[in-house]
Amino acid sequence: MNRQALETDQKALEINLDDNIYGAFAEIGAGQEVARYFFSVGAAAGTIAKTMSAYDKVVSDDVYGAEASGRYVCESRLYKMLDHEYDLMERRLRHARPDTNFFVFADTISAINYQKTVLGSGWLGIRFQLSPHEEPNDIVLHVRMLDNDNQLQQQAIGILGVNLIYACFRYHHDPELLLVSLIDSLRGRVAIDMLRISGPDFKSLDNRLLCLWMVKHKLTEVAMFGPDGRNIHPSEFLYKKHLMVVRGSFRPATLVNLDMIQTGFDTFRSEQEVEAAKSFLFTEITLDNLQSEGRLDEQDFLDRAENLCALGQTVIISDCTDYHKLIAYFSEYRIQNLGLVIGVRQLLDLINHLYYQNLDGRLLAAFGEIFTKNVRLYVYPALQEGSSELMTCQNRPTPEGVNFLFNPRLDNQKIKDWDNYNPAILHIYSKDILHLVREGSSGWEAEVPKRIAALIKEKCLFGYPAEKMEFDY
């Protein structure tokens, strides 16, 4: 991925001087800066067919139609802009430019306000051709602006827009490079936490990899995709909702994982303060877990993703090994209640980490970052090492010096033992099943959900031997 990163003006000028590229710009709200870069570097007549600034809401609704939600900074608004403007490009100019690659860039942005109550975020997208006789491709992304100044945020959006347009036409052959180039000259100023690529030139791209790359290259700490593998963003559906997160390796997903997901979510929705109809469930894999063997294996990640999608799960990929980071991320969406599912051994690791990393007197503050008023930990039991005795929150071996903080949270059920688990499956461990799968042994099938066993064999997931797949058929 070695390359020379160009300055923003250089990128804009190079696009302007390319006679094969011609397009339109449509910008709403604070995103008025992208077209300006192409005008300011010169030769803009070679690139820009039209610029559109629907700053007034009434004007915007008249051009693109009103949103059912009443929102203007949203994904559906962006797609309406792309649809409308690209259709105009084709109808007005295709006969005059039959051999030109058309594009439409659009954004809808809300920058930080004077009172600092709106922190700054928005949607950017581009519809573009790589061949004038083919259907166009789409790239859509969500960005959070990190500058604490309105003018700096507008400048950042301008740079990001130029980076996006340049990447489409210069780095389309390497989607990972395309992604990383988006934050050229912007490291630390923006976070890109959703990106989706579609179209005829990207048919072989698994968009779930984009989630992985965003976290891997630190464009964001959290990315997510739905059961259909489509990358999604929480701003479109999670605001003021109730959320439960199940963290695990899912390598592969076992009956224990399924029990944690199903019974945990049932318990969460039954809580008095949780509205079941407004509750969502996520499964989470951390980057640290994906790198547990010393390297990041993309195929291993995709195998886990296949597992979870087959179980109908919405999946989070995060760089939030410390739970307080994940809690802080979702707090931006004003989550009403957040339930975190955790195994009792993982709970011990968490408590020990909090204790030994905060012996300097920050222990109370460290606990406070996790156990906020709307967060509850649901703790799944485990068998004691080498015995049939059960380990729960009640008999956990935590350091004595932490119990004055732990026990009150146990009493008020901020930390809650599991009640409705299946004791017959506690002997199942993913690492044991993974070993059997790779060996091509039998017997593991009964310890994973039936659909997962079939999927592993059908697609040779997790190193299942291809010759065994042929033998099964």
Cβ-based burial of 25 (10 A; exposed 0-12, middle 13-18, buried ≥19): buried
Q: Give tens-digit pLDDT for 237-285.
A: 899 999 999 999 999 999 999 999 999 999 999 999 999 999 999 999 9
Backbone phi and psi for residue 422, each to the nearest 5 degrees, phi listed first: -100, 105
In order along its 473 residues, the chain shows pLDDT tens digits of 677 889 999 999 999 999 999 999 999 987 678 999 999 999 999 999 999 998 889 999 999 999 988 899 999 999 999 999 999 999 999 999 999 999 999 999 999 887 777 889 999 999 999 999 999 999 999 999 999 999 999 999 999 999 999 999 999 999 999 999 999 999 999 999 999 999 999 999 999 999 999 999 999 999 999 999 999 999 888 999 999 999 999 999 999 999 999 999 999 999 999 999 999 999 999 999 999 888 999 999 999 999 999 999 999 999 999 898 999 999 889 999 999 999 999 988 888 888 888 877 788 888 888 888 899 999 999 998 777 889 999 888 888 888 888 889 988 899 999 989 999 999 999 999 999 999 999 999 999 999 999 999 999 999 999 887 644 44
In angstroms, the CA 447 to CA 310 distance is 16
Q: Give tens-digit pLDDT for 201-218.
A: 999 999 999 999 999 999
